[in-house]
């Protein structure tokens, strides 16, 4: 399946403030959210959420840029995305979870050679 270029990712009103909020507030909002991806993001440490805003949203990145950002995160964060988001999806490519569980060097190689 090819990645469709949908242009830069945009946040709904108020989402930026939530992503940059202290962990206590973000985790409380995550508990009330029914979307696995948003719940996952809101439970991340504040510095990781800040890097997402800076490197993806503020940089005007598209879905490919979001994927590059995720694959560049540490092993724990990559595995948590596979476990908490991909494992509950009813559709999707099993290779995504496989890639997220690979060592950082393998993920970096994928980013450099495939997502460049």
**Is residue 3 over pLDDT 80?**
no
pLDDT tens digit string along 74-98? 999 999 999 999 999 888 789 999 9
Between the alpha carbon of residue 66 and those of residues 21, 23, 33, 73, 112, the distances in Å are 20, 21, 21, 11, 14
Instruction: Let me know: does 41 contact 49? Beta carbons within 8 Å.
Output: yes
**pLDDT tens string 24-73:** 999 999 999 999 999 999 999 999 999 999 999 999 999 999 999 999 99
What is 76-99 written as a DSSP string?
Answer: HHHHHHHHHTGGG-SSS-HHHHHH
Q: Which among 44, 49, 102 is positioned nearest to 71, based on CA atoms?
A: 102
Locate the domains of the chain by residue range. Answer: 15-113
């Amino acid at each position: 399946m090819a990645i469709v270029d949908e242009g830069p990712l945009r946040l709904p009103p108020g989402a930026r403030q939530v992503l940059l909020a202290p962990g206590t507030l973000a985790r409380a909002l995550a508990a009330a959210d029914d979307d696995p991806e948003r719940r996952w993001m809101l439970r991340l440490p504040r510095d990781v959420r800040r890097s997402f805003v800076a490197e993806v949203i503020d940089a005007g990145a598209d879905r490919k840029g979001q994927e590059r950002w995720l694959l560049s995160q540490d092993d724990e964060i990559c595995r948590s995305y596979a476990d908490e988001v991909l494992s509950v999806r009813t559709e999707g490519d099993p290779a995504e979870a496989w890639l997220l569980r690979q060592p950082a060097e393998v993920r970096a190689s994928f980013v450099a050679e495939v997502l460049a």
